[in-house]
Amino acid sequence: MAKFVVEKSGPLVGEVSISGAKNAVLPIMAATVLTDEVCEIYDVPRLRDVDVMCQILRSLGAGVTENYEDHTVVIDGSGIDKSEIPYDLVKKMRASFFVMGPLLARTGAAFIAQPGGCSIGNRPIDLHIKGLKGLGARIVQDDNSVEAIVKELTGSLVYLDFPSVGATENIMMAASLAKGVTTIENAAEEPEIVDLANFLNKMGAKIKGAGTDTIRIEGVEHLHGTRHTVIPDRIETGTFMVAAAITRGDVLIKNSVPGHVRPVIAKLIECGAVVNDEVDGLRVRGDLRKLVATDIKTLPYPGFPTDMQAPFMALLTTVQGTSTVNETIFENRFMHAAELSRMGANIRVDGRNAYVPGDKRPLVGTSVMATDLRAGAALVLAGLVAEGRTEVADIYHIERGYENFMDKLNSLGAKITRVDD
């Protein structure tokens, strides 16, 4: 297993460019199953999760050409002739489950292993199942697998008890080829949903309302190939904004979309950071004022993103005063708190709340472990300002979701090396 060795690095200064969004490109790649024509996707980040999605599409019979030099993936769905995704691929990445809807719509069947939980929660799929059943699918599931078959998907009204991102995406993709109209109520509103809907509409789908809580999909007979550039990754954007603040640096974050990170901008400003929307990107300065505590509550978009909770908590361990962090999305997303406490952060966790005392004393480098990709990123950021050396193990989590994370940070003045055990 590989680890990052992070030395206390001083203020990060310079500019960094954001890669394409992991959580947009994965459902978009899954959506290429809906057509037997060729799709070209640009600004694809080089990530482990993208590699796994390529393997999944190949296992179904698609032709997949990855050209990471220019961040392009070309997918030819004409050869898709299977309806089963092997367990060894599903267990590598939960987002494999996003293929269920498109596979059902394309082939009339989908046999996928239960995606199972992960470290941040048990990650149920009941809303995905509810939506696909609502479109007429017969679904049988046991502890190990989910089997869905349907003669013809038919549009219907689907109410999501929770605005699940994945369920909204799965249902929207399946409904694109259903007979009649589907309305998803209490839909997720994330920018990645909008990017997926834009991709599907370029394929010939008829989707309205993506980005709101009500999405209307008028099914069509056939979807064709298309070309699409993936939106920038708003969580990578937020992570580098926090990197500038926690190191009291001055960083210009290029290829970012300010409108996708409003809650993170607001909370950084509450802490005393200076954030300017400049022509070339978002400029974040943590060096102009003393940074102070603030409170965070994670919510579905447009609320504060749960994926930014861990990186932001790292910042809160270094500011004046005690902050409260309320995680409302996932039931077990505070494992980084224990690792930060090993560095001296003295965080108290009580159910869905974490109480983060600020800069009583500086963090001290030690050996810590990444438990998920956002927790791993948080620990690296903490290591940039901790006294001495911090070793972050299990960095494969980080490499799943952040393209060239170490190189981008080092280009801003960080002192990180990668060691393969």
Which residues are known catalytic residues?
A: 118
Residue 330 binding ligand EPZ, by CB under 6 A: yes
Would you say 39 and 225 are in contact if contact means Cβ atoms under 8 Å apart? Answer: yes
Can you tell me which of 96, 176, 239, 306 binds ligand EPZ, judged by CB under 6 A? 306
Shortest distance, position 97 Cβ to ligand EPZ, whole Å: 8
CA angle 132, 138, 142 (to 5 degrees): 95
Would you say 227 and 255 are in contact if contact means Cβ atoms under 8 Å apart? Answer: no
Stretch that binds ligand EPZ, among 57-65, 119-127, 205-213, 260-268 (CB under 6 A): 119-127
Applying CB under 6 A, the site for ligand EPZ has a residue count of 24
Closest to ligand EPZ by CB, 172 vs 252, is 172
Would you say 93 and 52 are in contact if contact means Cβ atoms under 8 Å apart? Answer: yes
Shortest distance, position 290 Cβ to ligand EPZ, whole Å: 31
Closest to ligand EPZ by CB, 50 vs 64, is 50
Burial status of residue 259 (CB atoms within 10 A of its CB: 0-12, 13-18, 19 or more): exposed
Instruction: Quote the CA–CA distance of 398 and 275 in Å, as a whole number.
Output: 26
Q: Which amino acid appears at position 326 of this protein?
A: N
Closest to ligand EPZ by CB, 324 vs 332, is 332
Stretch that binds ligand EPZ, among 151-159, 163-171, 195-203, 339-347 (CB under 6 A): 163-171
- Of the candidates 205, 202, 173, 166, the residue with the CA atom closest to the CA atom of residue 187: 166
Shortest distance, position 75 Cβ to ligand EPZ, whole Å: 18
Residues 53-112 that bind ligand EPZ (CB under 6 A): 95
Longest dimension (CA), the chain: 64
Closest to ligand EPZ by CB, 80 vs 95, is 95
Can you tell me which of 65, 119, 152, 162 binds ligand EPZ, judged by CB under 6 A? 162
279 Cβ partners below 8 Å, 6+ apart?
A: none
Stretch that binds ligand EPZ, among 69-77, 137-145, 165-173, 314-322 (CB under 6 A): 165-173
Residues 210-269 that bind ligand EPZ (CB under 6 A): none
String of contacts with ligand EPZ for each residue 172-211, x by CB under 6 A: ----------------x-----------------------
Can you tell me which of 108, 121, 272, 303 binds ligand EPZ, judged by CB under 6 A? 121
Phi, psi of 329 (to 5 degrees): -90, -50
Closest to ligand EPZ by CB, 60 vs 167, is 167
Can you tell me which of 135, 153, 167, 398 binds ligand EPZ, judged by CB under 6 A? 167
Residue with tokens 């809303």: 127
- Of the candidates 244, 251, 297, the residue with the CA atom closest to the CA atom of residue 268: 244
Phi, psi of 25 (to 5 degrees): -70, -30
Q: What is the DSSP string of 381-397?
A: HHHHHSBSEEEEE-THH
Residue 166 binding ligand EPZ, by CB under 6 A: yes
Residue 38 binding ligand EPZ, by CB under 6 A: no
| 335 CB-side CA count, 13 A | 18
Burial status of residue 85 (CB atoms within 10 A of its CB: 0-12, 13-18, 19 or more): buried
Residues 392-411 that bind ligand EPZ (CB under 6 A): 401
The residue sitting closest to ligand EPZ, measured at its beta carbon, is: 166
Binding site for ligand EPZ (CB under 6 A): 22-23, 26, 95, 121, 123-128, 162, 164-167, 188, 306-307, 329-330, 373-374, 401
